[in-house]
């Protein structure tokens, strides 16, 4: 059976706008950050289920799906058999690049109870509250046995600029969050962008998962926005010991970092930053 050709959405969308500068109006073209839904389906054996729908920026969709499943404890390093866009007859042509099916190894789906209320998520909230602290304790022990890298204060202050130079879509649109994974020498190993900072982290961790690099015990994570519980949950699940943000952390993010022995840095701007937990890793 042949399907009508489906157009694959890109990370940016062109639009005509009216710019007003000192009272003078002019028509010009602008590039907007694309925001479209992504339906994440899981399949095992003869079972298939829609797990979540999240608003995201198209690009690295397979990584986003893998990172989301990994962060929720649904799929580990060896559980994903394949990931693909959906071409089922029940999916409209214009939605085929907005639907991803993750095929898991095994004869049946894992226990997905507790995720029902998170069927629809947004680019802003990610998967708010999907994992309790108790379940995180069960899945990922504290980082005491994985001390992670020692990072100099001077090096940390260089990371925001290095993240920004890798944000190609942000340079066009000015409307995207970013998450970057760095080594102890400050080299950017991978950077992902999205309208949602949680999605950007999922894409980054999904990339590491699909390339066999998790756990990330010797890496530094930098996010372009604030650090929340969800960001910490995803980072800790992947074993990342140093989490930095250019904005503020939430109270629960700080509590989680202290309990699990992670280093949490906030307000990383210019030559200053605040250390909220794990100062022993900052030289």
Residue ranges of the binding site: 267-272
Q: Are 72 and 79 in contact (CB under 8 A)?
A: no
Residues assigned a catalytic role: 125
Cα–Cα distance, 249 to 232 (Å, whole number)? 10
Neighbouring CB atoms inside 10 A of 34's CB total 19
Task: Classify 74 as helix, strand or coil.
Answer: coil
Cα three-residue angle 192-195-198, rounded to 5 degrees:
65
Q: For residue 249, how many C-alpha atoms fall within 13 Å in the half-sphere facing its CB?
A: 27
Q: State the DSSP code for 219.
A: -
Question: What sign does the CA torsion over 102, 232, 128, 172 have?
Answer: negative
Characterize the bridge pairing of strands 99-104 and 47-56: unpaired
Cα–Cα distance, 173 to 199 (Å, whole number)? 17
């Amino acid at each position: 059976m042949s399907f009508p050709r489906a157009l694959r959405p890109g990370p940016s969308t062109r639009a005509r706008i009216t710019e007003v500068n000192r009272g003078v109006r002019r028509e010009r073209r602008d590039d907007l950050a694309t925001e479209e839904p992504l339906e994440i389906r899981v399949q095992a054996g003869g079972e298939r289920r829609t797990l979540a729908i999240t608003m995201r920026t198209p690009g690295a969709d397979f990584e986003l799906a893998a990172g989301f499943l990994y962060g929720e404890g649904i799929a580990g390093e060896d559980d994903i058999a394949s990931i693909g866009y959906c071409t089922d007859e029940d999916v409209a042509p214009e939605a085929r690049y907005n639907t991803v099916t993750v095929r898991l190894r095994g004869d049946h789906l894992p226990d997905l109870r507790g995720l029902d209320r998170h069927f629809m998520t947004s680019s802003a909230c990610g998967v708010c509250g999907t994992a309790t602290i108790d379940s995180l304790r069960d899945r990922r022990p504290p980082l005491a046995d994985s001390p992670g890298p020692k990072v100099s204060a001077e090096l940390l202050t260089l990371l925001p600029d290095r993240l920004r130079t890798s944000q190609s879509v942000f340079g066009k649109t000015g409307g995207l969050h970013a998450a970057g994974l760095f080594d102890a020498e400050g080299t950017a190993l991978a950077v992902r962008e999205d309208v949602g900072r949680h999605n950007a982290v999922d894409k980054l961790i999904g990339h590491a998962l699909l390339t066999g690099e998790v756990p990330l015990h010797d890496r530094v994570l930098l996010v372009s926005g604030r650090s929340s519980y969800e960001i910490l949950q995803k980072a800790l699940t992947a074993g990342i010991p140093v989490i930095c943000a250019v904005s503020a952390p939430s109270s629960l993010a700080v509590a989680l970092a202290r309990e699990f022995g992670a280093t949490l840095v906030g307000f990383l701007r210019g030559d200053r930053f605040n250390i909220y937990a794990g100062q022993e890793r900052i030289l």
